[in-house]
Amino acid sequence: MTPRYDWTLDEVQALFDQPFMELVFQAATVHRAGFDPSEVQLSQLLSVKTGGCAENCGYCSQSAHFKTGLKAEKLMDAEVVIAKAREARDGGAQRFCMGAAWRELKDRDLPKLAAMIGGVKALGLETCATLGMLTPDQARQLKDAGLDYYNHNLDTGPEYYGDVVTTRTYQERLDTLAYVRDAGMSTCCGGIVGMGETRRDRASLLRQLATLPSHPDSLPINGLVPVSGTPLGDAILKDGEKAIDSIEFVRTIAVARIVCPKSMVRLSAGRDEMSRELQALCFLAGANSIFVGGKLLTTPLPGQDEDSALFQDLDLRPMGLAKALAPEAVAAE
């Protein structure tokens, strides 16, 4: 399917508003046109610099603006990160992401980050990093170090953005994505749902992603994990309700698949709270990537045994495994 870049907000909203069965069927059809529906990419994310972030993102336990009990730490040494990446690879991860709780990358940290990226790349893993805002030159240096993907989420649609964060503008996020593309790196960009936004806000987020100059190569959909001490987390915890209805979450996955047909749509934060049945519906609706490893920055994920059992019961396999085990591939070795 040829991607479109001219989606209107009303068109994306209309996708959301379709009967559920029709929407999921349409998304599954789009998914099968571009991907093997039995394959899922496995990614692992490590917080290489935790806490003390100057941003005031209302969902984030790592913001210095909120009292969440999280202690700020220094940037990890490259050797430690590379060792963690080796463990991730040996545990089945195909892609290793490094996240730092910064508003923007400082030039002084580039040499250590370059060592991390080069070491992880040498292990045969795809490399990804999320380090806050970048300058054009920093993006080029990360590319030269071997970084494959840069993650910089839009979080939500522009209309709701001011209710989530005020220390960074929407345009600044778009600018960093432009620098990443110009440097020749792949983009990893998605958002968070369940922050009190409306369906139209979710449609607006996906329209923004689908009308970028190129669609995100990786599109993570995060379900809010409410953290005590954060404004958005406290609002959800006070109400005592789920951050987002499960069926509405599946709708979001399905619409993401339809409007960005070539993107890797990833189940990200919140998967630990999802039932096996909900995850199965998400895979049916076009999700084909997950984070593994038991932890996503500071929030929990299912353990390896749980994920292995889920894959076995759903007849899923890690992406590329069938090709790697094909007779001609074995003979070539």
Question: What would the DSSP string read from start to end of 243-264?
Answer: SS-HHHHHHHHHHHHHHSTTSE
- Whole-prediction pTM: 0.90
- Which of 11-25, 46-60, 154-168, 317-331 has maximum average pLDDT? 11-25
Cβ atoms of 282 and 253 closer than 8 Å: yes
Tens digit of each residue's pLDDT (9 = 90 or more) over 78-136: 999 999 999 889 888 899 999 988 889 999 999 999 999 999 999 999 999 999 999 99
Tens digit of each residue's pLDDT (9 = 90 or more) over 257-290: 999 999 999 998 888 888 999 999 999 999 999 9
**Tokens 């979080």 appear where?**
155
pLDDT at 330: 38
Q: 295 or 105: which carries more pLDDT confidence?
A: 105
User: φ and ψ at 270, to 5 degrees?
Assistant: 95, -5
The catalytic position among 257, 266, 271, 282 is 266
Instruction: Compute the mean pLDDT over every residue in the chain, rounded to the nearest whole number.
Output: 89
pLDDT at 329: 40
Cβ atoms of 48 and 76 closer than 8 Å: yes
Q: What percent of the chain has pLDDT over 70?
A: 94
In the annotation, is 260 catalytic?
A: no
Chain-centroid distance of CA 205 in Å reads 14
Report the distance separating Cα 26 and Cα 285, nearest Å: 8
Is the pLDDT at 291 greater than 90? The verdict is: no
The amino acid sitting at 210 is A
Q: What's the angle, vertex CA 255, arms to CA 250 and CA 257, rounded to 5? A: 95
Is the pLDDT at 299 greater than 80? The verdict is: no
- Among the listed residues 188, 270, 273, 256, the one whose alpha carbon sits nearest the alpha carbon of residue 223: 270
- Among the listed residues 250, 186, 259, the one whose alpha carbon sits nearest the alpha carbon of residue 221: 250
In the annotation, is 282 catalytic?
A: no
pLDDT at 103: 83
The catalytic position among 95, 168, 188, 257 is 188
**pLDDT-derived band of residue 322, with 50, 70 and 90 as boundaries?**
very low
Tens digit of each residue's pLDDT (9 = 90 or more) over 238-250: 877 777 899 999 9
pLDDT at 24: 98
Q: What residues contact 309, with CB distance under 8 A and at least 6 apart?
A: none
The catalytic position among 128, 189, 260, 282 is 128
Is the pLDDT at 304 greater than 90? The verdict is: no
Chain-centroid distance of CA 294 in Å reads 15
pLDDT at 34: 94
Is the pLDDT at 5 greater than 60? The verdict is: yes
Least confident of 32-41, 43-52, 128-137, 185-194: 43-52
| 3-class secondary-structure state, position 192 | strand
**pLDDT-derived band of residue 296, with 50, 70 and 90 as boundaries?**
low
Least confident of 5-14, 84-93, 227-236: 227-236
In the annotation, is 103 catalytic?
A: no
Report the distance separating Cα 101 and Cα 79, nearest Å: 19
The catalytic position among 53, 189, 260, 282 is 53
In the annotation, is 189 catalytic?
A: no
